[in-house]
Chains A and B, each alone.
Chain A
């Protein structure tokens, strides 16, 4: 069971890395309809008329919550054995889901680098 301070440390590392990777990605794609914002633990990724992602920390559950315009809502727990955030109902990681969906929608190979969370702590 993840202690709360560790949850925040791991979740913040993941959200920060996600923001950094998405900002770089959007700079490369250079579509003016696309933007990413992050504040108060909530990240919003707007992909124009393709839809909007909302990804946020959910501290009471020690989770990261995702809302995808393609696959809907999912809740991720930190799994130490995988050193990543995993959706318990299908065993799939947040990293895998975002990489696959963004690669599909942007038509290029996307890797946000969200695996190995413990190596990314500040």
Chain B
């Protein structure tokens, strides 16, 4: 299992009862929730980057030892219908991003961008040195949401069904209106 080279990881620095291991403390022990995400990560994979309804967040840096790619597919109601991730990094980074993908599925963009790193850290019982991993996961979902919104502003479509496209010639002053009736259900 990948170990962080940063420092000795305290197994259970937090006094919260749910985070205390039943077995004797080891010098470097990952909480069983982190191990679960590491061994069975949820939602690993990729979505097509160029799809108009897909937002891609890419955060971190290889030199730091952590890179997270998190992608969301958003439906016409602004709900995250699908989410995939790929993470290069320690067990805590993988677990943080895996947990984030589980957490945001089915949420609106507004709800997803409110998820705080503290929630992830608490859920996974991350030790002090690994709180940065949860922050990175928070950054990743926000980056994906920002990317999706940027793509949407570039894709304005006046010829969308249900709209009337109105244009006026600057030379003649003639106005032309073209209706695009909604397609029948």
Contacts and interface: CB of A to CB of B under 8 A. Distances in A.
Most buried by B among A49, A51, A67, A69: A67
A72 interface: yes
A67 B7 contact: no
B7 A40 contact: yes
A53 interface: yes
A67 B128 contact: yes
A54 B129 CA distance: 6
B95 to A, nearest CB: 16
B86 interface: no
Interface residues of A, number: 18
B83 to A, nearest CB: 23
Contact residues on B (Cβ < 8 Å of other chain), bracket? 10 to 19
Contacts of B64: 58, 60-61
Contacts of A95: none
B7 A73 contact: no
B7 A51 contact: no
Contacts of B121: 72
Contacts of A65: 132
Given A44-B7, A72-B121, A73-B117, A53 B61 contact: no
A65 B133 CA distance: 12
Given A42-B7, A72-B117, A53 B128 contact: yes
A61 B135 contact: no
A93 interface: no
Contact of B13 (A52, A56, A58, A61): A52
A54 B128 contact: yes
B6 A56 contact: yes
Interface string B38-73: 000000000000000000000001011000000000
A7 to B, nearest CB: 13
B73 to A, nearest CB: 28
A69 B132 CA distance: 12
Given A73-B132, A73-B134, 9 more contacts: A42-B7, A51-B14, A52-B10, A61-B61, A67-B131, A67-B132, A69-B13, A69-B128, A73-B131
